[in-house]
């Protein structure tokens, strides 16, 4: 599929707002990029929706708009004109678009300032956001075992969550059930364990689908940083150097690994 104006806009949005997923997509085969750019651009738009206004009703309406887009795609009918929704409607299979309902529902948490009810609610948020996104991408590209993708995505989601915590706290959200150093380390170990469990089942992820797991290339490194130095979460210093960040991605992409 050639890049029209809509897909170019999607790629530009991902490059600006989600540089890690942009790099991972550029490391993917050319044939996989249209779907990935459309899907990741959608994810950005949905993630932004709860923060569009301090008025909760307006934020709810923005989230609902994307929920309706997911419903339109899932029903296989025409999708309203939008630079992200239009290409997503062309490229995402209806049965996979059904997961957008859960993604939108999870994002409603971002609108309000309530803590997660319990560990199950927190895990559900991670699975319905990062898990659904990675599953839709992987299942669109090739043969893959869903449980393996979701295990890996959970660890990636926890890694991403740690990186987002300073901004969430700044905006008066309560991102963790236990924000103590021991609590952070325990959550990081849980995420790392899920990734390692998934990696023992690499044979259940085809080479084509594995491309969708590339955006998690830094997750293990970040989770290990939290285990070793939990204070880095609060001060926002998690992550790799630019050289190591790009180098590790290239190495994994060349090997067809994740």
Digit-coded pLDDT (tens) for 67-112: 999 999 999 988 999 999 999 999 999 999 999 999 999 999 999 9
Domain that holds residue 238: 115-258
Same domain, 244 and 181: yes
Same domain, 254 and 145: yes
Count the alpha carbons within 13 Å of 175 in the hemisphere toward its beta carbon.
23
Same domain, 255 and 148: yes
Same domain, 141 and 65: no
Same domain, 8 and 85: yes
Query: How many Å apart are CA 94 and CA 69, to the nearest integer?
Result: 11
Report the 10 Å Cβ neighbour count for 81.
Answer: 9
Q: What percent of the chain has pLDDT over 70?
A: 100
Q: Which of 20, 17, 13 is nearest to 222 (CA)?
A: 20
Give the model's pLDDT for residue 1.
59
Give the model's pLDDT for residue 73.
98
Give the model's pLDDT for residue 2.
74
Look at residues 89, 112, 135 and tell me which one is the last residue of a structural domain. Answer: 112
Number of structural domains (the chain) is 2
Give the model's pLDDT for residue 33.
98
Tell me which residues of the chain have a pLDDT lower than 50. Answer: none
Same domain, 146 and 59: no
Same domain, 169 and 48: no
Same domain, 152 and 253: yes
pTM, to two decimals:
0.96
Burial class of residue 228, CB neighbours in 10 A (0-12, 13-18, 19+): exposed
Same domain, 201 and 221: yes
């Amino acid at each position: 599929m050639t890049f029209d104006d809509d897909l170019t806009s999607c790629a530009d949005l991902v490059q600006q707002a989600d540089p890690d997923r942009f790099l991972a997509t550029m490391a993917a085969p050319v044939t996989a990029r249209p779907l990935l750019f459309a899907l990741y651009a959608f994810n950005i738009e949905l993630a932004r929706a709860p923060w569009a206004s301090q008025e909760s009703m307006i934020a709810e309406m923005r989230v609902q708009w994307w929920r309706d887009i997911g419903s339109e795609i899932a029903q296989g009918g025409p999708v309203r004109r939008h630079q992200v929704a239009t290409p997503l409607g062309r490229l995402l299979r209806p049965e996979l678009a059904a997961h957008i309902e859960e993604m939108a529902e999870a994002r409603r948490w971002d609108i309000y300032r309530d803590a997660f009810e319990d560990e199950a609610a927190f895990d559900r948020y991670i699975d319905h956001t990062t898990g659904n996104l990675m599953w839709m991408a992987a299942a669109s590209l090739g043969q893959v075992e869903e449980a393996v993708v979701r295990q890996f995505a959970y660890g990636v989601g926890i890694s991403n969550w740690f990186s987002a915590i300073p901004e969430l706290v700044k905006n008066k959200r309560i991102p963790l059930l236990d924000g103590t150093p021991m609590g952070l380390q325990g959550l990081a170990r849980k995420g790392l364990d899920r990734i390692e469990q998934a990696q023992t089942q690499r044979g259940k992820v085809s080479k084509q689908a594995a491309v969708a797991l590339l955006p998690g290339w830094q997750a293990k490194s970040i989770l290990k940083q939290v285990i070793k130095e939990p204070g880095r979460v609060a001060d926002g210093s998690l992550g790799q150097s630019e050289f190591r960040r790009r180098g590790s991605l290239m190495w994994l992409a060349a090997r067809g690994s994740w």
